[in-house]
Amino acid sequence: MLKIAVIGGDGTGPEVVREGLKVLERIAKLEKFKAQTTEFDLGGEKFLKTGEVLPDETLEALKKFDAIYLGAVGHPDVPPGILEKGLLLRLRFELDLYINLRPVKLYPGVDCPLKDKKPEDIDFVIVRENTEDLYVGMGGFAHKNTKQEVATQVMLSTYFGVERCVRYAFELTRKRNRKKLLTLVAKTNVLTYAHDLWWRVFKEIATEYPDIKTDYNHVDACCMWMVKNPEFYDVVVTTNMFGDIITDLGAMIQGGMGIAAGGNIHPSKVSMFEPIGGSAPKYTGKNQINPLAAIGALGMLLEHTGHEKAGRRVEKAVAKVAGELESLSAGKMGCTTTEVGDRVCEAL
């Protein structure tokens, strides 16, 4: 029995997750496995009513599931940072989900904003470190609200954190078995401490993987190559902050936020899967948001929890429907959110 904790969250999160769960029911029947879902009411609405973001008991309860399926976090009436730090980042940190895995794949028939690029040119995976860097929230203010104000935000990297992330990326490159190329993306020419550590660890671990070719890009150059020559990439490993930025760029070249899925992973503990786009308040409740990213995240969840065949089938169905929609953008798909979910079920 696969036990999944479901957090619909904010905005369009619950709508896209609903379609994912519809697909789960269908694939479970087809592949003959049992799945049980438990909904958790978390997010902006709950915070506004109760003042609570993520109660400790809830966090403890979440640890007992096989996986967590998350819709979106972010509410227009809640000041920035409260839900992001209190819910999403707290889950990533406290569950030690040290990998943020974000595939960038252009499916056949999907519009790509890059001229002349085809599905065979855009197929790589970004491994984003998920527990360190500027995200740890170290730093502070002095002399706040004066002309002498000082603000610091610490970019933290540890040997432990970098090593486990880089090792995961090497293993994944081997497992993918495509170009067998792992590219480190950092900024060693400026961040001569934190990224020097990344560079040295990368070189050190590389000696254990003689079958994997390695490359290095500064992050600014990576943004250039992702647009100009995305076919260069197979697996990219990078820091939390840079990974946040380049995965949005990755989402755009694969057709937009409507299709971009990701996993927050601890290889041996409960992991969390989510569409990488936000809560899209503008589209909330309109049945217009694209649920394919959330359904793709469900596919990743299944693959991660030992249902590889089911996960691959879901991905194939998502790819098929993605290629058939008028557009992947909310409101322009040529059908509704629920119809997209139905079409994925049919494709299965």
Total number of residues that touch ligand IPM (CB under 6 A): 6
Beta bridge partners of 274: 262
Instruction: Say whether residue 31 binds ligand IPM (CB under 6 A).
Output: no
Beta bridge partners of 72: 9
Contact 136, 154 (CB under 8 A): yes
Instruction: Say whether residue 274 binds Mn ion (CB under 5 A).
Output: no
With respect to ligand IPM, which residue has the nearer C-beta, 256 or 310? 256
Sheet of 99-105, strand order: 35-39, 2-9, 67-72, 271-275, 261-265, 99-105, 123-129, 235-238, 181-186, 213-218
Report the 10 Å Cβ neighbour count for 241: 17
Active site residue 248: yes
Q: Which does 84 bind (CB under 5 to 8 A by kind): Mn ion, ligand IPM, none?
A: ligand IPM
Euclidean distance between CA atoms 130 and 246, whole angstroms? 14
Euclidean distance between CA atoms 319 and 342, whole angstroms? 14
Instruction: Say whether residue 244 binds Mn ion (CB under 5 A).
Output: yes
| Smallest separation (angstroms) from Mn ion to the CB of 226 | 15
**Choices 44-52, 86-94, 162-170, 239-247 (CB under 5 A): range interacting with Mn ion:** 239-247
Euclidean distance between CA atoms 136 and 150, whole angstroms? 19
Check 111, 196, 215, 220 and give the catalytic one: 220
Active site residue 56: no
Q: Are strands 213-218 and 99-105 parallel, antiparallel or unpaired?
A: unpaired
Q: Which does 155 bind (CB under 5 to 8 A by kind): Mn ion, ligand IPM, none?
A: none
Euclidean distance between CA atoms 222 and 310, whole angstroms? 33
Q: How far are the Cα atoms of 118, 183, 184, 197 from residue 160, in angstroms, in the given order?
A: 38, 20, 17, 11
Contact 254, 110 (CB under 8 A): yes
Active site residue 187: yes
Check 121, 248, 286, 342 and give the catalytic one: 248
| Smallest separation (angstroms) from ligand IPM to the CB of 34 | 30
Q: Which does 99 bind (CB under 5 to 8 A by kind): ligand IPM, Mn ion, none?
A: none
Query: Which H or E run includes 92?
Result: helix 90-94
| Smallest separation (angstroms) from ligand IPM to the CB of 154 | 16
Site mask for ligand IPM (CB under 6 A), range 264-303, x = bound? ------------x---------------------------
Residues in the chain: 348
| Smallest separation (angstroms) from ligand IPM to the CB of 86 | 11
Enumerate residues 6+ apart whose C-beta is below 8 A from 316.
Answer: 347
Instruction: Say whether residue 88 binds ligand IPM (CB under 6 A).
Output: yes
Total number of residues that touch Mn ion (CB under 5 A): 1
Report the 10 Å Cβ neighbour count for 325: 23
Instruction: Say whether residue 84 binds ligand IPM (CB under 6 A).
Output: yes
Per CB under 6 A, the list member of 133, 244, 303, 315 interacting with ligand IPM is 244
User: What residue type is 306 in one-letter code?
Assistant: G
**Choices 83-91, 193-201, 286-294, 309-317 (CB under 6 A): range interacting with ligand IPM:** 83-91
Q: Which does 261 bind (CB under 5 to 8 A by kind): ligand IPM, Mn ion, none?
A: none
Contact 229, 123 (CB under 8 A): no
Active site residue 98: no
Active site residue 196: no
Residues catalogued as catalytic: 135, 187, 220, 244, 248
Would you tell me which residues interact with ligand IPM (CB under 6 A)?
73, 84, 88-89, 244, 276
**Binding footprint of Mn ion on the chain (CB under 5 A):** 244
